[in-house]
């Protein structure tokens, strides 16, 4: 029962985080691009951005808690993840790649949300960086989903 609850919370949090990234990329950004006034664009983003960021970080924390719990409940310990025999399996390779991507995505999200993003308000250079980070984060998130599918299907 604990595994099912943990998996449910993990998947729900991933859906929220990645779904939110897709919504921002596919709906909000094109909407903002259609606005003529920079003040309007900024006002819309100031309303949406912080609210999504707060909820997204709640989802990230849930993912970072439930991920290790899920691995433990599935019988995978931290030492096993770097074991050459385990890594020789498709499952082991997919899990290691997913974990590396998760580390990279969380690190990149921290930079995007708390350093690049705030500087983007007043700097064209940082606006460009924020776009690059945002797109890169979405690509990494989708790759994580792909490797989660590989893990679920045995590698």
Q: Residue 39 has what pLDDT?
A: 84
Q: What is the 3-state secondary structure (H, E, C) of 39-68?
A: HHHHHHHHHHHHHHHHHHHHHHHHHHHHHH
Distance between CA 5 and CA 118 in Å, rounded?
36
Read off the pLDDT of residues 81-117 as tens digits, 9 standing for 90 and up.
999 999 999 999 999 999 999 999 999 999 999 999 9
Question: In 3D, which of 116, 127, 112 has the Cα closest to residue 41?
Answer: 127
CA neighbor of 18 nearest in space, from 94, 93, 105: 105
- Contacts of residues 25-28 at CB distance under 8 Å and 24 or more positions apart, as own/partner, are 25/134, 25/135, 25/138
Angle separating helix axes 124-152 and 2-23, nearest 10 degrees? 140
- Residue-level pLDDT at 51: 92
The mean predicted confidence, pLDDT, of the chain is 95
Indicate whether 67 and 135 sit together in one domain.
no
Domain of 43, in residue numbers = 1-75
Which of 75, 103, 120 marks a domain boundary? 75
Are residues 137 and 82 part of one domain? yes
- DSSP letter at 89 equals S
What are the tens digits of pLDDT across the range 5-41? 999 999 999 999 999 999 999 999 999 989 988 889 8
User: Of 58, 75, 92, at which residue does a domain stop?
Assistant: 75
- Per residue in 113-139, pLDDT (tens digit) is 999 999 988 899 998 999 999 999 999
Domain total of the chain: 2
Return the half-sphere exposure (C-beta side, CA atoms, 13 A cut-off) of residue 95.
22
End-of-domain residue from the set 75, 105, 126:
75
Burial class (CB in 10 A: 0-12, 13-18, 19+), 112: buried
């Amino acid at each position: 029962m604990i595994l099912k609850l943990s998996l449910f919370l993990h998947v729900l949090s991933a859906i929220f985080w990645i779904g939110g990234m897709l919504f921002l990329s596919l709906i909000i950004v094109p909407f903002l691009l259609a606005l003529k006034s920079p003040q309007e664009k900024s006002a819309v983003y100031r309303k949406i951005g912080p609210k999504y960021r707060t909820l997204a970080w709640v989802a990230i924390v849930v993912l970072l808690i439930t991920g290790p719990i899920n691995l433990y409940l599935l019988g995978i310990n931290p030492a096993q993840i770097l074991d050459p025999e385990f890594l020789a399996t498709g499952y082991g390779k997919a899990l290691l790649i997913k974990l590396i991507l998760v580390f990279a995505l969380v690190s990149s999200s921290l930079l995007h949300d708390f350093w690049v993003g705030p500087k983007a308000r007043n700097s064209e250079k940082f606006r460009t960086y924020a776009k690059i980070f945002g797109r890169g984060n979405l690509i990494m998130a989708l790759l994580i989903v792909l490797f989660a599918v590989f893990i679920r299907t045995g590698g």
